[in-house]
Amino acid sequence: MNIFCPAKLNLFLHITGKKENGYHLLESMAVFLDLGDTLIINKAEAINITTHGTGQEELQSLRTQDNLVYKAIKGLEKKVGRPLNVNVKVNKNIPLGSGLGGGSANAAGTLKALNTLFNLGLEQETLISVGAQIGSDIPVCLVSKTALKTGTGTDLEIYNTPLPPMYFVLVNPNLGSSTIEVYQKRQGDFTPNMAHDQYPTTYNRFIEWLGLRRNDLQKAACALTPEIKIILDILNTLPSCDFSAMTGSGSTCFGIFQSKQLAQEAAAHLQKEHPKYRVASACLAGH
């Protein structure tokens, strides 16, 4: 069984508070792209997970119990009270520690696949509750639709109004970013809650709307990984780039362009001028 796991992009990320247990409260708009990882999952006599492609050596060096795919399998086994032995081949395109939700997308894809392979008949809400216990990005990756994440990141408000067509250039410095370290480094006041329930449906107005928002983790991530600031400065010099920011806790940055051609031309230019970076163009999933 083949499962496509789309990359997640945070168009903005506001830190609105902090709970007594140390978890931060946030507001973040998540969208999904037409690039991502692919899983090949089949029933087996035991759980076996192999990784190929981007970051495979680092992932293979992880203890099996720390792999989010493994955690998803064991979490669902606990829920249904039976073994769910599978062979999982993960074909990675999403860099590790990139802020694109690759591990969470893989875990979400695994939960969906197991539900189908073993005819479990579980509702999406049940899969979301299992995923939320594993990682805060897994619920939105299970939905894979444009959504506002609130609370600790597991509360979702799905946007049913389509976003205007837009195109992205993703630039990763080939350096991972530690979510824990970025949150620890963050300083300053919290961002007051804003109204995000409606957004403009035309490109230019949406860019203006997005310009009133930001990523509250960007400053901390730049301090820890100066390459992020360099990439953002590079994106800002491109005349066809209408908006740029970092996604999640880093390290990937993105620029938004009005046409596919402009995005592809910018990506080709950046890859030629900065060959040490990973550069890709993308559009919203389903567009």
Indicate which residues carry an active-site annotation. Answer: 8, 137
Cα-based angle 8, 240, 195 (whole degrees, multiple of 5): 50
* Residue partners of 149: CB distance under 8 A and separation at least 6: 26, 27, 28, 29, 30, 136, 140, 155, 156
Q: Which long-range contacts (CB under 8 A, 24 or more apart) does 220-223 make?
A: 220/182, 220/183, 220/185, 220/186, 220/187, 221/177, 221/182, 221/185, 221/246, 221/249, 221/250, 221/251, 222/246, 223/185
Closest CA to 206 of 167, 151, 260: 167
251 preceded by cis ω (within 30°)? yes
Question: 147 with 128: CB under 8 angstroms?
Answer: no
Question: 35 with 237: CB under 8 angstroms?
Answer: no
